[in-house]
Amino acid sequence: MRACILVLFFSVLLASSVVFTHIVSAEGDPASIPSKGDEAEIIFDPQLIELIFAGECEKVWNSLWPEAKKGDLKARAILSALVDQLWPGKPRILMPGRSRDLLSQRRDGVILGIHSLGLNDKLDKRILSALKEPIMALGADYWEKLEECLELRDGAFCADYAVTGAKHQRVPSFERYVAEIDALLAAGMTPTCLYFSKNAREEWLREDEAWKKGWEESWKIHYGENWREVSEEILQKKIEENRKEKRDQKKVPVK
């Protein structure tokens, strides 16, 4: 039963998640962070991997944010990956002044991701594709124009277009974003690092167990002792609604 509910829950999150979810394996194995690969991958330096798994949040931040501000596209891409990391139990950074709300994570991920375009053609397209869902939330036309832009122009041009070329500015300039984050830092707010340790998986499991207990108690209050059967019924209904919606989308309108 719990597995069914989690499948539905994570299908929503993972459908919109950044493709860098392979950064750390579910077991928190440092070796699974890419340290070499083709040009379509963001490569994590060995020193950065060590800092992440040593739980050195401040050092990781200090190695990435100053470089991102200077124009280091790779640092921006790595921050985007860590900020928009939605897989449970994997290293994640919350920007200063942020809570764990999904909206803030997606906004920061999009801004950092857009402003990392220009690394190379393959990686630029992969980054943009990974951010499709949150960008689509800004407008389907906006997404289509950015996607078309990368087919015709280089990443740096398209990053600029995302800020200045759209009808309505939906992504701030990086200078404006830096001013926003630095103001929060100056006010004493700091980034938060989640699951920065070799025991990240165990940390998440403990947190998940607490979440599960609270979730079950909530359902019992609303639906009584038969809450499991009720939740399965709701899940099945949602699955059927999704299937019907997909079937309807495939139907050709009658002229």
Tens digits of residue pLDDT in 237-249: 777 777 777 667 6
Most confident of the ranges 110-119, 156-165, 228-237:
110-119
Residue bearing the bigger pLDDT, 185 or 208:
185
pLDDT on residue 140: 84
3-state secondary structure the chain: CHHHHHHHHHHHHHHCCCHHHHCCCCCCCHHHCCCCCCCCCCCCCHHHHHHHHCCCHHHHHHHHHHHHHHCCHHHHHHHHHHHCCCCCCCCEEECCCCCCCHHHHHHHHHHHHHCCCCCCHHHHHHHHHHCHHHHHCCCHHHHHHHHHHHHHCCHHHHHHHHHHHCCCCCCCCHHHHHHHHHHHHHCCCCCEEECCCCCHHHHHHHHHHHHHHHHHHHHHHHHHHHHHHHHHHHHHHHHHHHHHHHHHHHCCCCC
Residue 27 in tokens: 């077991």
Asked if residues 189 and 21 have their Cβ atoms less than 8 Å apart, the reply is no
Tell me the per-residue pLDDT of 1-21, one tens digit each, with 9 for 90 and over: 433 333 333 232 323 333 333
Most confident of the ranges 75-79, 131-135, 249-253:
75-79
pLDDT on residue 200: 62
Interval 37-63 mean pLDDT? 77
pLDDT on residue 254: 42
Interval 60-88 mean pLDDT? 89
Interval 210-217 mean pLDDT? 74
pTM score of the predicted model? 0.64
pLDDT at 88 over 80: no
Interval 202-218 mean pLDDT? 70
pLDDT on residue 203: 64
